[in-house]
Structure 1
């Protein structure tokens, strides 16, 4: 059965990795999706993959720089392409420049908050009222495991994802009673789609000592996004769903010992 048949969806940052996997999964479940991002070549590849598989997809180029105008322009164009309504919004686009607290410059700070927090804030500000007027909708934000299990690098990025998880709960309180479900997914360490199989990275080390014991895949996040967008999650509000192989909640400190006879 198609869990999203007849639905429309806008996924930001959907030309690669997690966003691309969500767009493809939504289309496979019957949704008409708008792929958005800045890389025209990659975007057209995603759209063609979806169409070749029998799905419906279109591309809207978006430079989400944090200005209300940029977010409103994307919402306006996506709404027109999707026949006048957006049923599902996935706030996925984000940037993670390297650096520590001691090395981050002000322009980097402002840029990361603009893309990771301001852009989804103003996009939600624009789209949520239309969802309410249409009788309901779904908003899914992307958080991160580093928002709650701190590491000594990436404080700036982690703080933006903490902000998105907080906004998830705030928006759920604000919009939930008016028919718009708001939830978030907190991915663990995810293997890049262009990473060669068998290649070890620092991420593999981060997943050592977890129940999964390995990196996650974009498809695992996409499966969670399908669930949260579907009617199966109709009683789920204001939740941050950890899809992280147990990274934030569990520590495996020893190998299981066989029971003695």
Structure 2
């Protein structure tokens, strides 16, 4: 198993891409810690994989620090951090409210900062770590109605590459994944003609699956990627080329 004995925190780990990653990591031998805003979902998913579940708002530093402290007490280390938690509050520039801007920034950007800064001292102590941040193709391409979301995903790329420079010498690899169109519970509700247009934009002519993203997280979290640092891997079926 690729992650035997590793301790992995997965934010947003109780739904969608995060849950798929939690299930996969557990099957590969990791001790999975699920940090999710939804308490019941976090606890239910944790029970499913015999992991730990925490109700955490990553925009609140005290909640993040409390979770990290409890994980260290339980396991003595943190090997892997998947910064997967994120939200969307879409609106065009002229209609976007301050609340829509602030909330997306606080979760998608500040939340990544909070979790990483809280975990990194423990990784430095062990001389080992894998940090994987969830960006998006819109972080490089932009997207209509997503000023706030695209800004955070561009910031995640910048933070990833900065941290790779700072932390690589400490034995910590920092990389990012940039998903494209992924089939989730939200996209499944879209009209078939809309889904078809999305597929036609992708050179592979299909939408991605949550497992496509989870497999990439697994690769970056494992020793198979030991010489990859500061990379931003698009998992988009060729949409961004």
Q: Is contact 1:193-1:218 (8 Å) kept?
A: no
Contact kept, 8 Å, 2:13 with 2:36, in 1: the verdict is: yes
Residue of structure 2 equivalent to 1:145: 137
Q: What SS does the corresponding residue of 1:9 show, helix, strand or coil?
A: strand
The residue number in structure 2 matching 1:77 is: 70
Aligned pairs for 1:137-176 (under 5 A) are 137-176=129-168
Separation in 2 of the partners of 1:78 and 1:30?
17
Task: Tell me the distance in 2 between the aligned counterparts of 1:46 and 1:23.
Answer: 8
> What is the TM-score when the length of structure 1 is the normalising length?
0.87
Distance apart, 1:195 and its partner CA: 5.9
| 5+ long unaligned stretches in structure 2 | none
SS in 1 for 2:89: coil
Within 5 A, what are the aligned runs for 1:37-116?
37-50=36-49, 56-64=50-58, 66-81=59-74, 83-116=75-108
| Equivalent residues of 2:43, 2:54 under 8 A apart | no
* Higher helix proportion (structure 1 or 2): 2
Cα drift, residue 48 of structure 1 = 3.1
- SS of residue matched to 1:103: coil
1: CA distance, partners of 2:199 / 2:156: 23
The change in CA–CA distance for 1:185 and 1:203 in structure 2 (over 3 A counts) is: farther
Can you give the 5+ residue segments of structure 1 that lack an aligned partner in the other structure?
A: 51-55, 250-261
Aligned counterparts of 1:106 and 1:181: Cα–Cα separation in 2: 35
Residues 109 and 152 in structure 2, CA contact (< 8 A), matched pair in contact too: yes
Is this contact kept in 1: 2:39–2:54, CA < 8 A?
no
State the Cα deviation string for residues 1-45 of structure 1 (Å, max 9, x = none). Answer: x00001010000111001111111111110000111122332233
Paired residues for 1:1-261 under 5 Å: 2-50=1-49, 56-64=50-58, 66-81=59-74, 83-193=75-185, 196=188, 200=192, 202-249=194-241
Deviation at 1:155, TM superposition (A): 1.6
Going from structure 1 to structure 2, the CA distance change for 1:28 and 1:201 (only over 3 Å counts) comes to farther
2:114 is paired with a residue of what secondary structure? Answer: helix
With the length of structure 2 as denominator, give the TM-score of the two structures: 0.94
Would you say the 8 A contact 2:26–2:32 is kept in 1?
Answer: yes
- Pairs aligned (count): 241
More displaced stretch, 202-211 vs 9-18: 202-211
Name the larger-Rg structure.
1
Is this contact kept in 2: 1:60–1:77, CA < 8 A? no
Contact 2:10–2:84 at 8 Å: present in 1 too?
yes
**Stretch of structure 1 that moved more, 66-75 or 197-206:** 197-206
